[in-house]
Amino acid sequence: MVGSFTGMEIEIQNRLLNTAYTYIQSKQIDAIRISTRPDYIDKETLKRLKKFKVKTIELGVQTTNDYLLAKCKRGHTYADIRRASRLIRFFGFTLGHQMMVGLPESTRLDELNTARDLAKLKPKIVRIYPVLVIRDTELEQQYRKGEFEPLELNQAVEICKELTEFFEKKRIKVIRIGLQSTDTILAPEKTGSEVVARTIS
């Protein structure tokens, strides 16, 4: 269950979890995995997720640099990432992190520092996403004005390679690099794509 799952109304969460839980009971699936934001995690939420046999919680952290988090208007800080990560592990869930490369004003050093910070929080899995420029966002406006440029392909490959090697040395599994294509997340030139710009090829 993707997106900021625990940010939805509790009734909707419970309905979806209930449906998924029936498949666990019938042994058609083994576990439930959700994604959410660090500031949408608290003890009561985790207790409720435990009842539905949720196994893995992935946090969209993007970066651990507070300046960059504020620049991207994330609405939370690195302290929130630390707090949520520790709570998730304390309650016995498998912790995952999702970080981004190529954020506005982010540097290679910022991204390596994010990886180091995340490793200290002991996630079991990580996803690495180069930034996409999505239609009707502030980032699209910056891109149109020439104030933001996505990473070049070779830059994205090099930093993702470096991050993957770092995480592997820490025995943290990188389970995905790059956002999976959907009906609307496609190459910018494709009809119906919400993606305005991506890593330059």
CA distances 62 to 78, 99, 141, Å, are 10, 4, 20
Residue 143 located in a structural domain: no
In the predicted model, is pLDDT for residue 152 greater than 90? no
188 band by pLDDT with thresholds 50, 70 and 90? low
List, edge to edge, every strand of the sheet that includes 94-101: 32-36, 54-62, 94-101, 125-130, 173-177
Residue 35 sits in a domain whose CATH number is: 3.20.20.70
Residues 106-110 have a mean pLDDT of: 96
Provide, rounded to the nearest whole percent, the portion of the chain with pLDDT above 90: 75
Inform me whether the pLDDT recorded for 194 exceeds 90. no
With respect to residue 16, please indicate whether it lies within any of the assigned structural domains.
yes
pLDDT digit string, tens, across residues 15-62 = 999 999 999 999 999 999 999 999 999 999 999 999 999 999 999 999
pLDDT at residue 134, rounded to an integer: 80
pLDDT at 109 > cutoff 60: yes
Confidence of residue 3 (pLDDT cuts 50, 70, 90): confident
* Angle at alpha carbon of residue 86, lines to 85 and 87, rounded to 5°: 90
Specify the range with the lowest mean pLDDT, choosing from 95-99, 128-132, 195-199.
Answer: 195-199
pLDDT above 60 for 199: no
To the nearest 10 degrees (0 to 180), the angle between helices 43-51 and 10-25 is 30
What local confidence, expressed as pLDDT, does residue 200 receive? Answer: 47
Per-residue pLDDT at 201: 42
80 in a structural domain: yes
Using the structure block, give the residue that is written with the tokens 């109304």: 9
Checking DSSP bridges between strand 32-36 and strand 173-177, what pairing results, if any?
unpaired
User: Can you tell me the distance from the alpha carbon of 168 to that of 173, in angstroms, rounded to the nearest whole number?
Assistant: 6
Asked whether residue 146 is domain-assigned, the answer is no
144 in any annotated domain: no
Give the number of domains in the chain.
1
| Beta strands per DSSP E along the chain | 32-36, 54-62, 94-101, 125-130, 133-134, 173-177, 195-197
Question: What Cα–Cα distance (Å) separates residue 195 from each residue in 23, 50, 62, 180?
Answer: 34, 36, 18, 12
Domain annotation covers residue 12: yes
Position 119 pLDDT exceeds 50: yes
Burial (0-12, 13-18, 19+ Cβ within 10 Å), 132: buried
What is the pLDDT at residue 184?
57
In which residue are the tokens 């009707």 written? 136
Mean model confidence pLDDT for the chain = 90
Containing structural domain, residue 107? 5-134+154-180
159 located within any domain: yes
Q: How far is CA 140 from the centre of its chain?
A: 20
Query: Given a cut of 90, is residue 197 above it in pLDDT?
Result: no
Q: Is residue 173 part of a domain?
A: yes
Does the structure show a pLDDT above 80 at 179? no
